Chains A and B, each alone.
Chain A
Amino acid sequence: MTTRSFLHICLVLLFTENSSVDCNMLHFQQNKVNQASLQLLEKMGGQFPVQCLNENSNFISFQNVLSSREFQKENAMVAIQEILQQIFNIFSKSHIQTAWDRSSIVAFQNGLHQQIELLKTWFDGEKKMETTYPQNEDFTRLKVKKYFHVVDNFLKEKQYSLCAWEIIREEMRRCFLIMDQLTKRLKN
């Protein structure tokens, strides 16, 4: 058992420390992360509470943020990395809903963290090869950050209530669906 775990650690280290990340592997990992995260999001809470249906959430839909026209292939990966980072930040807050399944939350966080690190490594490699567009990259990051700032403010306003969290949870689920569509479209 120890040898097997040692092998697993070695493999993980190998993948994480590898500076030259294969694009196909990146997409494959991204797909896996999307699938797992979606399942965990559905698992951590139950059905949407009926009492929260009257709650109004006046913030811009995420789909408007990620309009594919503005994103080129290089910037798409930058946007995805930033989105994952922001989601991770939100779900790492101490005010996270205690009614939710703790193990699902932890697994969700771990998956996000792994993918973020992988994207960082790939991005550093791309920077060395000078295939990125720094100006567009900053703009993309800013747009994503702006959206999640609104989300953060919403949570603060609602004082991290259950209904607020449930609305945010539903919104994050949509995030993953749109991200998946974007990455698959740009891969072609």
Chain B
Amino acid sequence: MMAVLIGPLSFCQLVYLSILTTTLFSLPEASVINPPLELTMDSKNFQHILSWEPGINTTMPTYYNVKYIGLSGSEKEWKMAKECSNTTCLSCNLTKEYEEYTSTYIAMVQRVTEHGELNSSILEFSPYTSNLGPPAVNLTACPACINVTVKLPAAYLKESSLIAIYQKLDYTITVESFDRKEKIPIKNETSEESFSYVVGSLRSNTNYCVSVAVAASLNRRSIPSALKCVITKSNTQPGYGIIPILNGGLVALIIGIFLLGLYKGGFICLKSKPWPKVLETTNKLHCSVHEPDPENVCSVQVMYKEVKKKEWEYCYDDDSESDSENSGEYTRHVILGRVPSSHAKSNTFAHQTIDCTSAESSSQATELLNSDAENSEEHQSVIRENEITSGVFFHPSSEVNSSSTSELSNSACFNINLNTVMLGDPDKTWDDSATLISHQKDAIDLQDSSASDALESKFFTNIVDVKKPVCHNISHEWQKPSVSDESDASDSEYIRR
């Protein structure tokens, strides 16, 4: 009875055990034959490559089918990748299949073996999130800077580029010093396929390495470019030294031209202008007042002779005047020496003997005046200035002693007794005649120029009419025979009554 119960139980267990073992054994085979496929997508610039790992058991021939589906399409069905059907390759290029870059695609790899088909897991991928880059970078060294030229990689889309898809790309330039001590990130954005950027404020003669990465605002996946190194140029170049020198020279030239313009315009005067000729006389007048030149003295002997007073006319002035009063008679002036500015007037007419030491020299001569109008016709001699005339002709009607006249006619000089000569202002009385005569004596004796100067100053202090300064230059002018009108007027003033 016990054996009967044990029998059925053992039979069930045996059956159960056998089923268990077979399943256990079969399972490893299944896993070995059909391992799950791991898919990976490697996308670069819209070039999508799907790859997978093969199964463990590689002895059996296996083929792969790649299928994909797009989520954006209205028709959702698995499509076969044409280039990757029944392929033994472990990768598939899905660039052409993933043509809609905003859409999302799901890929699946089917493994075909003798045992059957096995589908792998799915891979969801959007081409929009493709890795961007690396860009092509060219470096150019410049003084303390680097010129980075970047060219974006081409997109594997039909008639499209990265800029056409993303419109704007952000790029990051990383500048590193060779010893990795400095790291300078520069961020900017571009909307061009090719662009350049100058990295400045770098040290000169230093090795720098540059790397550029591009990314979009909604797609931050990027592959940076490989490090490229360049040495920056030196700052100290001969050309840079010349420029400040040239600038300084240019500034100096501009200042010089400006100053020249001012000088030409009359704003700057380098030398003083000469004193105008018109004002020269003023100077000389000034000179004459303070420093009168000495006059040459000519000794004169004057003898007094009484003569009737007659009206005589001063014939010196004009020929017409003389004609009117003294008809047919000429009077020539005897100018024995320089006459002082004032003309004294004597009321007596007198002979005069003049001893002139030198005829040519400008000797001082006293003035001979025929003050008396009554005797004016007889002796008329006027000594004026420095001229010496040859002779004087007297009026024949004069009552002067003929001897004197003969003397006078023969000789060129007159004999004048200065003691009798009266000098003074015609309007005044002759009270001072004595003093004048005594002074005149002194004047004759003295031949010193200085003494005469003193006398002169004494005599003619009252005289206001100082017309002719003593200075040499002007006295020469008055040696001319033509006498100025002023002197004529003054003479007539004193002589006439």
Contact = CB atoms under 8 A, between A and B. Distances in A.
A185 interface: yes
Given A38-B218, A50-B122, A178 B102 contact: yes
Interface in B85-107: 102-104, 106
A53 B76 contact: yes
Given A47-B124, A59-B74, A174-B72, 20 more contacts: A31-B217, A34-B218, A35-B217, A38-B218, A47-B122, A50-B122, A53-B106, A55-B76, A56-B74, A57-B76, A58-B74, A63-B102, A170-B71, A170-B72, A180-B217, A180-B218, A181-B166, A184-B217, A185-B167, A188-B191
B388 interface: no
How many A residues touch the partner, as a band? 20 to 34
B166 A184 contact: yes
A177 interface: yes
The 4 nearest A-B residue pairs measured at CB? A184-B167, A177-B102, A174-B102, A170-B71
Interface string A158-188: 0000000001001101101110110011001
Interface in B190-235: 191, 217-218
Contacts of B102: 63, 174, 177-178
7 contacts: A50-B106, A56-B76, A170-B71, A177-B128, A180-B218, A184-B217, A185-B167
A56 B75 contact: yes
Contacts of B217: 31, 34-35, 180, 184
How many B residues touch the partner, as a band? 20 to 34
A170 B74 contact: no
A131 interface: no
A23 B71 CA distance: 35
A48 B121 CA distance: 13
A91 B75 CA distance: 25
A188 B167 contact: yes
Contacts of B74: 56-59
Contacts of A57: 74, 76
B56 to A, nearest CB: 25
A167 B218 contact: no
Contacts of A54: 76
A172 to B, nearest CB: 12
A61 interface: yes
Contact of A48 (B106, B191, B218): B106
A59 B74 CA distance: 7
Interface string B229-259: 0000000000000000000000000000000
B336 interface: no
Contacts of A181: 165-167
Contacts of A171: 72
A153 B76 CA distance: 20
B167 A167 contact: no
A119 to B, nearest CB: 18
B284 interface: no
Interface in A118-177: 167, 170-171, 173-174, 176-177
Per DSSP, chain B at the interface is loop
Nearest to A59: B74
Interface in B113-168: 122, 124, 128, 165-168
A138 to B, nearest CB: 27
B104 to A, nearest CB: 6
A167 B165 CA distance: 24
B69 interface: yes
B72 A61 contact: yes
A140 B124 CA distance: 34
A63 B72 CA distance: 10
A176 B218 contact: yes
A54 B104 CA distance: 15
Contacts of A56: 74-76
Contacts of B122: 47, 50
B167 A48 contact: no
B218 A35 contact: yes
B38 to A, nearest CB: 15
A38 B122 CA distance: 22
Nearest to B101: A177
Nearest to B76: A53
Given A55-B76, A180-B218, A167 B166 contact: no
Contacts of B168: 184
A158 B166 CA distance: 34
B68 to A, nearest CB: 11
Given A34-B217, A50-B122, A170 B191 contact: no
A167 B70 CA distance: 11
Contacts of A173: 104
Contact of A170 (B78, B104, B166): B104
Interface in A43-71: 47-48, 50, 53-59, 61, 63
Nearest to A171: B72
Contacts of A47: 122, 124
Contacts of B167: 181, 184-185, 188
A103 B263 CA distance: 87
Contacts of B191: 188
B39 to A, nearest CB: 13
Nearest to B78: A53
A173 B124 CA distance: 14
A165 to B, nearest CB: 13
Contacts of B124: 47-48
Contacts of B106: 48, 50, 53
A48 B168 CA distance: 30
A34 to B, nearest CB: 6
A185 B217 CA distance: 14
Nearest to B108: A50
B76 A48 contact: no
B76 A177 contact: no
Contacts of A177: 102, 128, 218
A170 B74 CA distance: 13
